[in-house]
């Protein structure tokens, strides 16, 4: 049995909303931010998600398998890159095949955008471990 934290673990979330369909890519809190694009399941699979991934970043979440209108996601990501001028993008996905669509959407957005931004893809295993982290 896993041990419990010694007290309340604070949330690192600093903005709302987080679901990709609901975010406004020109909201001022995205300006110059380090952006975290996470698959919906990732936060439930990785126990220290807030501290390890959200801390210091602005979060958007999506499910590449279940969400509709993924072309809108690419458009919003382009606006985040070009208009909000995000500093970096970290993509956190699960090792399952359907999650690869999220990193593909980010890749499409970076190829469409007029600015270049560093992108790191982190893959979480189904047992909650980090399988890989790679900058592109």
Q: What is the CATH number of the domain that holds 127?
A: 3.40.1360
Any domain includes 86:
yes
* Residue 1 clears pLDDT 60, i.e. is over it: no
Domains contained in the chain, number: 1
Any domain includes 87:
yes
In angstroms, the CA 75 to CA 59 distance is 17
Any domain includes 5:
no
Any domain includes 94:
yes
Q: Report the pLDDT averaged over residues 122-132.
A: 97
Query: pLDDT tens, 27-48?
Result: 999 999 999 999 999 999 999 9
pLDDT for 135:
95
Any domain includes 18:
no
Given the DSSP bridges, would you call strands 34-39 and 119-124 parallel, antiparallel or unpaired? unpaired
Mean model confidence pLDDT for the chain: 94
Any domain includes 79:
yes
Half-sphere exposure of 117 (CA within 13 A, CB side): 33
Domain that holds residue 108: 28-135
Query: pLDDT tens, 58-102?
Result: 999 999 888 888 899 999 999 999 999 999 999 999 999 999 999
């Amino acid at each position: 049995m896993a041990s419990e934290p010694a007290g309340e673990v604070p949330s690192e979330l600093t903005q709302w909303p987080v679901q990709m369909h609901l975010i406004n890519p020109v909201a001022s809190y995205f300006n110059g931010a380090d952006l975290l694009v996470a698959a919906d399941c990732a936060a439930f699979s990785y126990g220290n998600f807030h501290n390890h991934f959200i801390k210091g970043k602005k979060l958007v979440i999506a499910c590449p398998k279940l969400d509709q209108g993924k072309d809108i996601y690419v458009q919003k990501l382009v606006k985040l890159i070009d208009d909000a001028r995000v500093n970096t993008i970290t993509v956190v996905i699960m090792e399952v095949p359907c999650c690869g669509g999220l990193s593909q959407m980010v890749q499409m957005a970076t190829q469409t955008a007029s600015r270049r931004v560093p992108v790191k893809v982190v893959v979480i295993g189904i047992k909650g471990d980090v399988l890989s982290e790679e900058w592109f």
